[in-house]
């Protein structure tokens, strides 16, 4: 019987966060791809295997789920070094973008090729996964999760490693035993109230009406949770995230200081890092860009705050709003300041930025692990009944 490995993957607009197996393996890959040629030039090719795999992901992807099949890509950090790198555009749907599939399959292939449970024969690894992932609430409400799942399950997807350290020439065939696509807002709620064994840790939240505002790169979702369920009619999704503002900051830095940042990821680093926050190097001199970042992020925070105000006014019995997602980490100080000056809603952020960034993948891990456990138990009971 083929062994299926647990995978929980959050293909965020800023980065992919994946958890594989029994919480022992994590992958963080910036969500950037760049079409490329098969023989990419490498200085010191004989030293390739000494380089970091995550800085040198170079693959060809075959999948019936892709609009453009068999394309060669640079993925993640390697893609930022080209002039044709691609990040998801504002207004796009995550479920309908080839880039989402490419990122997902890349992460699974990287896990599979290093996982001892999957056997390799003649340079080919056959890997089977039970996948937990998610989509924005807006896309789930529109039924796009069905098409996304059906494009992946029931097919074989192949990732071929090209000029990649350690794995050059290897191929990974990926199949899915099961795929669960969760609404992102509900996943965040699961992470708030349950531990890794799905035991309740915050009982006081179970009976409360709460809001969860998930600020991503391309969209913002506000889930309304009543009696531990998402109220589908009240949940709202907005086509606004931090990506457009990050691009504005990137462009203004380029225009004013002549500094070309590789990607939005670099802008996020400038805004959130602990040391030298809001500073860049210009011709070797440390330069403050807080005036650029401040006015752009404040305008975005005002829009996000209006979303909160509008949803709360329609759900007046809500007791608290939790802000989650990478965008919340970027806007936290601005939204807090606005709230203190204006309505004074009961809001909460996660002081540990990593907890907020990894919240979705942790939730998917909990949910898909519970599903796999229950499914295994159901199969055992079914076999026992048939044996009688």
pLDDT, tens digit, for every residue of 199-216? 888 888 888 899 999 898
Q: Please identify every stretch of the chain with a pLDDT value under 50, giving residue numbers as ranges.
A: none
**Domain(s) of CATH 3.30.420.40: residues in the chain:** 4-183, 202-357
Looking at residue 347, its pLDDT comes to: 96
Q: What is the DSSP string of 38-103?
A: SS---TTGGGGGGS-GGG-EEEEEE-TT-SSTTEEEEEGGGGGGSTT-B-PPTT--GGG-HHHHHH
Give dist(CA 154, CA 157) in Å, integer: 10
Q: What is the pTM of this model?
A: 0.87
Q: Which fold has domain 202-357?
A: Nucleotidyltransferase; domain 5 (3.30.420)
Determine the pLDDT at residue 1.
54
So what's the pLDDT on residue 218?
82
**What pLDDT is attached to residue 44?**
61
In this predicted structure, what is the pLDDT of residue 46?
66
CATH level 3 topology of 4-183: Nucleotidyltransferase; domain 5 (3.30.420)
State residue 388's pLDDT score. Answer: 64
* pLDDT value at residue 358: 86
Say if residue 54 is exposed, middle or buried (CB neighbours under 10 Å; 0-12, 13-18, 19+).
Answer: middle
Helix boundaries (H) for the chain: 98-113, 137-141, 144-152, 184-193, 243-257, 264-272, 290-314, 326-341, 353-357, 359-387
Q: Write down the pLDDT at residue 176.
A: 97
Report the pLDDT value the prediction gives residue 97, as an integer from 0 to 100. 92
Alpha carbon distance, N-terminus to C-terminus of the chain: 23
Give tens-digit pLDDT for 24-68.
Answer: 789 999 999 999 888 777 766 667 888 899 999 999 999 999 999
pLDDT score of 45: 64
Which of 243, 254, 238 has its CA nearest to residue 289?
A: 254
**What pLDDT does residue 50 have?**
85
């Amino acid at each position: 019987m083929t062994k299926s490995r647990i995978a929980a993957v959050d293909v965020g607009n800023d980065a992919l966060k994946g958890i594989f197996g029994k919480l022992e393996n994590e992958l963080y890959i910036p969500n950037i791809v760049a079409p490329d040629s098969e023989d990419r030039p490498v200085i010191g090719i004989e030293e390739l295997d000494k380089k970091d795999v995550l800085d040198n992901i170079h693959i060809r992807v075959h999948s019936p789920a892709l609009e453009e099949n068999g394309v060669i890509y640079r993925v993640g950090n390697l893609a930022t070094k080209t002039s044709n790198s691609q990040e998801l555009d504002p207004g796009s749907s995550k479920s309908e973008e080839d880039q989402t599939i490419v990122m997902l399959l890349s992460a699974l292939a990287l896990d599979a090729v290093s996982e001892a449970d999957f056997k390799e024969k003649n340079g080919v690894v056959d890997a089977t996964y039970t996948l937990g992932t998610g989509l924005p609430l807006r896309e789930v409400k529109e039924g796009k999760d069905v098409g996304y799942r059906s494009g992946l399950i029931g097919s074989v997807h192949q990732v071929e490693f090209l000029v990649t350290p350690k794995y050059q020439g290897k191929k990974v065939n990926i199949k899915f035993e099961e795929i669960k696509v969760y609404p992102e807002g509900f996943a965040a709620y699961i992470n708030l109230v349950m531990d890794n064994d799905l035991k309740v840790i915050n009982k006081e939240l179970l009976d409360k009406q709460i809001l969860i505002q998930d600020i991503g790169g391309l969209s913002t979702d506000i889930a309304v949770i009543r009696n531990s369920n998402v109220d589908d009619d009240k949940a709202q999704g907005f086509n606004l995230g931090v990506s457009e503002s990050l691009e504005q900051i990137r462009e203004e830095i380029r225009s004013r200081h002549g500094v070309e940042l590789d990607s939005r990821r670099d802008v996020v680093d400038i805004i959130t890092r602990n040391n030298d926050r809001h500073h860049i190097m210009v011709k070797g001199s440390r330069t403050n860009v807080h005036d650029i970042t401040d006015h752009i992020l404040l305008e975005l925070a005002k829009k996000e705050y209006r979303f909160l105000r509008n949803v709360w006014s329609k759900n007046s019995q809500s007791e608290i709003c939790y802000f989650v997602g990478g965008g919340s980490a970027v806007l936290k100080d601005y939204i807090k300041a606005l709230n203190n000056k204006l309505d004074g809603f009961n809001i909460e952020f996660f002081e540990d930025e990593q907890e907020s960034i990894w919240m979705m993948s942790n939730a998917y891990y909990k949910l898909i692990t519970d599903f796999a456990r229950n499914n295994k138990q159901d199969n055992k009971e079914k076999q026992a009944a048939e044996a009688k």
